[in-house]
Structure 1
Amino acid sequence: MNKALSPSLYYTLIVSLGGFIFGFDASVISGAIGFIDVEFGLNDWQQGFVVSSPTLGALIAMLFAGAVSDAIGRRKALIIVASLYLISSICSALAPSYALLVLARFIGGVAFCSLIIAPVYISEISAPENRGKMVSVNQLNIVFGFALSYFSNYYFLQLSASELSWVKELSIDTQTWRYMLGLEAIPALLWLSLLFTVPRSPRWLMLKGKVDEAERTVKSLFDEHQAKAQLSDIQSSLEERSWPLKERLGIVVAKSMRYPLMIGVILAIAQQITGINVIFFYAPTIFEQSGVGTDAAFMQAVWIGLVNVAFTVVAMLTIDKWGRKPLLIIGLCGVILSMSVCAYGFKQATYQLDSEDIAELRITDNRVAAKLTTIENETFYSDVAFKQSLRDNLTEVEYDSLQQQLLNSSITMNAPLVLFGIIAFVASFAMSLGPVMWAMLAEIFPNQARALAISLVGVVNSLTSFLVQLVFPWELMNLGAATTFAIYGAFALISLILVVKLFPETKGRTLEQIAEELAPATK
């Protein structure tokens, strides 16, 4: 162990490496999906399913993650998760078909249950006064993963266009997306190795009646005074006995759990229904809709990653000072405003293929140019009408291969305004819903049912994320970008009202104190 770091922080950094891998795994598809679409000839729903299939895996895994981590321990569960990430990354990179790619990404999605197991472990080895920051380290690593995936996607995109001999020898120019997805195997293998060095959770050990090992672990994590206080809190809350699964399920459905479960479910839905994963997973696609071109779209996605990291750091520095609820209120206000800006930006856009655009197209494909003369110089005031007109005049193959080129040629809009709106949205989310949700979920449930309750809330979170990602390509085609972003803003407004009216503040209290204070709220 590194003596320059506190034991809690050292183990937190190791465990939260899983957050980095999740962030990378989840967002690397944003750069690969365009190449995959061309290679396998996907329709809108298939494209959505390639992106959302990991979330479907997570949805199923969340049903069992809490019970499994309670049965075998947080550490052992995380080791299994790391193995799944490694298998998924290798199989995704080698997938020979659409179906096998979906299956490989589904396996990686099962590993997404690390999102609920890691915060539970971190909260159980952290002191109350630092718990918000410690759990936020996991969120910080998630956004580092997002950022690195954008950088690596941009790097591979540039590399694929180069004339370097080794690029062609390794087929990076023709199999770019496979390298994008396969890079994840490196951090996954590292994390798997490091997890064997972390101790088992002292609260889980106490739940299993392993009192001696729990005491040794607590004393290795904290100074004498802190260790004594931590042990006292754990022992009094658990009554020094193990709780069978049936009893823990009874606690989850008890009347005293209704209020904390309501808070958890609202957080889980709000975090996803406001559209954050659409931004992360479809970033280049969204920017391409504004007509900036593929290279610029990938570069702007890099800016999203950087802003995400910066404002997650802001959240880490303020979550234990300002509290959880103020950050949620500030962040949701920012989400509402930024989504309104994006909706306005796309609403003002117009689309027109003029004579010069058609003439330029004739140079490369005279047959397609002839088909589009029927809409030459016609102005469209919505992306939906324009794309439908293209589909009416072109075959599916022609539309898929030329859609982006035609959008770039025809669109007139304030692209910097949309970029500002999206970056403001990411900043608002990164300092609020991103880290605060996981911090609060690790705090609001009692020890005996924490993992199961977070697992239940995780299912709701994953289901919401899956549905939002799945329908996005359809929304973009049938509702348009402006309406889609307006919908996300409306959901953020509803979430803000619920947070203001219903949410408690949990900063600076022990897990046991929070559980005691929330339970009477239902009486």
Structure 2
Amino acid sequence: MENTTRRTWFIAFVVSLGGFLFGFDAGIISGVMAYAGPEFDLNDIQTGWVVSSPSFSAMLAMLISGRLSDFYGRKKILIVVAFLYALSALLSAYAVGYNMLWIARMLGGVAFGAALILAPTYIAEISSAENRGKLVSMQQLNIVLGFFAAFLCNYYLNELNTSGDSFLTDETVWRWMLGLEMIPAVLYFILMFFVPRSPRWLFLKQKVNEAIEILKSLHSKTRAEEEAKSIQESIQKQSNKEKVNLKELVKPALRFIFLVGLTIGILQQITGINAIYFYATSIFKQTGIGTNAAFASGVLLSMTTVVFTIVAMLLIDRMGRRPLLLIGIGGIALSMLICGYGFKQATYELSTEKMSALDASLVENLSGFEGKVYDNDVAFKNDMKQALGSQVYAKNEGAILEAAANMNSTLILIGILVFIACFGFSLGPVMWVMLSEMYPNKYRGLAIGVIGFVNSFASWLVQQVFPWELSNLGNATTFFIFGFIALAGFFLFLKILPETKGKSLEELESELIT
């Protein structure tokens, strides 16, 4: 691999570290809430808000970060992003109550909202058509590596805490989980100073000499000259047009690709990915495998994500974007329906034998339910909460469900892993690649910002509502909803999805914009 290519890969890796921090934050919260939720006695709405509040603030960041980066430059905004990540981790770890916890997490949301928009934009702007898919996919790879690191940290810190031989307690273990994010955040902040400014942004700001020098450092001299000429021609075509505003995105020339982008952005979230990630420990507890096994299953889930994101990076510039998305969304629909079926077959019974495995204090309060069979998880959990109180039930949910649940937990685990695998090679990385490719230079920041906003709103909504869904609709109905949404998405993609593989940003602009 030649030096210029190595330099491009290094820069793409550094810039996409914001994705790692997003993944780490999203993964770590599933373990945090197993302890912080009961400690602060949070209800379903409060639990949903602590988990989802970063996505809420990310919506606002996504709306303005693209335009801010058009004005100040991608690099400067990403340095601010790294600082906010570090500050959020510090304040979250020292949270003294519910309000401080969600406010601190919202700071992190501002950071990852901006990073999720700006990293793929920047990477697309330093890449050639041949390697753009792989390089932009590095954002998603870093996200899933962040998830893996977080689930691994959750698993080991939970093991240390439950062993009784460490300094950790139920009251401090979750603070260590949150505080660890400081390490990659500080590293990201430092490394961003070694990244050049975007050459395409420099051309827009009339800093031609600096832009050409950066292109030469990223590509061969001949390729740099070709890229420079292509970028300048594209900018020249746009220079005589009126200033960009939101209404232009829905004018006939841009309407189709804007709607395609919106569709991908919404479906990426409403098929349930962040319900699975952010609540992984809680979901695995629902299968009755126990708290420790739930933490271990989170590690398996995140490993699957890493493997299939790498598969996507290897295939995206060979197979193309459209086939990966169609295969992936079809698999997502099937796997969610399998999970729904698995939960639908479940029954719950506290038998005499299983009751003996619970703490004596629990047995005393639950003795009236011994031998009673439930075919509905909502009715079972409501009776448990009424008998024990919500805080005591929350602290012991893993043990109670492990004692009572009778279901095919292996089928559900397989369903979730297939879902994660399919998302990992399709909707996860391919969405950001396509969004970075479909829009002209002039509109790219605004279009991706608006779609990112809608994407983040959908993510926030799923995260906020998910605990309520589990409590009121039940496990089976919740997963069936995700499955049928994905099925509808498959047929919609079949009809509207274009292919953007192997074309320069300027070629795509001339093809997709009428």
Contact 2:51–2:278 under 8 Å retained in 1: yes
Which amino acid in structure 2 is aligned with residue 214 of structure 1?
Answer: A
Matched, 1:36 2:32: no
Question: Per-residue displacement from partner, 1:263-304 (whole Å, max 9, x unpaired)?
Answer: 110011110000001111111110000000111100011001
Matching residue of 1:315: 312
Q: Which residue of 1 aligns with 2:63?
A: 63
* CA contact 2:212–2:225 (8 Å) conserved in 1: no
More displaced 10-residue stretch of structure 1: 195-204 or 347-356: 347-356
Q: Aligned AA for 2:370? A: E
Alpha-carbon distance in structure 1 between the residues aligned to 2:375 and 2:456: 35
For the Cα contact (< 8 Å) 2:34–2:281, is it kept in 1? no
Structure 2 CA distance for partners of 1:439 and 1:241, relative to 1, 3 Å: closer
Is the CA contact 1:444–1:518 (under 8 Å) kept in the aligned structure 2?
yes
| Deviations 1:416-447 (CA, angstroms, capped at 9, x unpaired) | 11110000000000000000000000000100
**Structure 2 residue 155 is the aligned partner of structure 1 residue 154:** yes
Q: 1: CA distance between counterparts of 2:392 and 2:164?
A: 27
Residue 350 of structure 1: which of 328, 337, 347 is its match?
347
Deviation, 1:345, is: 0.8
Give yes or no for the alignment of 1:209 onto 2:206. Answer: yes
1:126 aligns with 2:123: no
1:21 maps to 21
Structure 2 CA distance for aligned equivalents of residues 289 and 126 of structure 1: 44
Larger deviation: 51-60 or 393-402?
393-402
Moved more, 346-355 or 499-508: 346-355
Once residues 220 and 369 of structure 1 are traced to their aligned partners in structure 2, the CA distance between those partners, rounded to angstroms, is 69
Alignment of 1:63-212 (within 5 A): 63-112=63-112, 113-164=114-165, 167-168=166-167, 171=168, 174-212=171-209
Q: Could you give the per-residue CA deviations for residues 205-230 of structure 1, whole angstroms, max 9, x where no partner exists?
A: 11111111111111111112211221
- Residues 174 and 374 of structure 1: CA distance in aligned 2, closer, same or farther (over 3 Å): closer
Amino acid at match of 2:142: N
Which of 461, 479, 504 matches 1:467? Answer: 461
Alignment partners' CA distance in 2, 1:232 and 1:319: 27
What is the distance in 2 between the residues matched to 1:71 and 1:418? 48
1:184 and 1:28 mapped to 2: Cα distance?
Answer: 9
Cα distance, 1:241 vs structure 2? 7.8
Q: Which residue of 2 aligns with 1:262?
A: 259
Q: Alignment partner for residue 360 of structure 2, among 355, 358, 364?
A: 364
User: 1:360 Cα deviation (Å)?
Assistant: 5.2
Quote how far apart the aligned CAs of 1:394 are.
Answer: 3.4
Does the Cα contact within 8 Å between 2:339 and 2:415 map onto a contact in 1? yes
Amino acid at match of 1:184: E
Q: Secondary structure at the match of 1:247?
A: coil
Deviation of residue 371 (structure 1)? 4.2
Distance in 2 of aligned mates of 1:296 and 1:359: 20
**2:244 corresponds to:** 247
Partners of 2:375 and 2:247 lie apart in 1 by 56
Aligned residues: 512
**TM-score between the two structures when normalised by the length of structure 1:** 0.94
* Helix, strand or coil at the partner of 2:348: strand
Specify which of 387, 395, 403 is matched with residue 389 of structure 2.
395
> What is the aligned partner in structure 2 of residue 507 from structure 1?
501
Which structure 2 segments of 5+ residues have no match? none
Q: Percent identity?
A: 49
Residues 207, 240 of structure 1: 8 Å contact kept: no
Q: 1:395 offset after TM fit, Å?
A: 2.5
Q: Relative to structure 1, is the Cα distance of residues 359 and 139 closer, same or farther in structure 2, using a 3 angstrom cutoff?
A: closer
Q: Once the 2 structures are TM-superposed, how far is the Cα of residue 248 of structure 1 from its aligned partner?
A: 5.1
Aligned partners of 2:141 and 2:306 also within 8 Å: yes
Asked if 1 retains the 8 angstrom alpha-carbon contact of 2:57 and 2:109, the reply is yes
Q: CA deviation at 1:405?
A: 2.2
Please say if residues 238 and 442 of structure 2, whose CA atoms lie closer than 8 Å, have aligned partners that are also in contact.
no
| Contact 1:273–1:491 under 8 Å retained in 2 | yes
CA 241–356 in structure 1, closer or farther in 2 if over 3 Å, else same: closer
Does the aligned pair in 2 maintain the 1:209–1:240 contact within 8 Å?
no
Which one of the candidate residues 281, 284, 287 is aligned to 2:284?
A: 287
Which residue in 2 is equivalent to 1:381? 375
Alignment RMSD (CA, Å):
1.8
TM-score of the superposed pair, with normalisation by structure 2: 0.96
Distance 1:245 1:201, change over 3 A: farther
Residue identity in the other structure for 2:150: S
Q: Which residue of 1 aligns with 2:223?
A: 226
Structure 2 residue matching 1:128: 3-state secondary structure: coil
| Partners of 1:128 and 1:355 in 2: CA distance | 65
Counterpart residue type for residue 81 of structure 1: V
Equivalents in 2 of 1:376, 1:488: separation in Å?
34
CA contact (8 A) 1:160 1:174 kept: no
What is the rounded CA distance, in whole Å, between the counterparts of 2:356 and 2:228 in structure 1?
77
Match of 1:327 in 2: 324
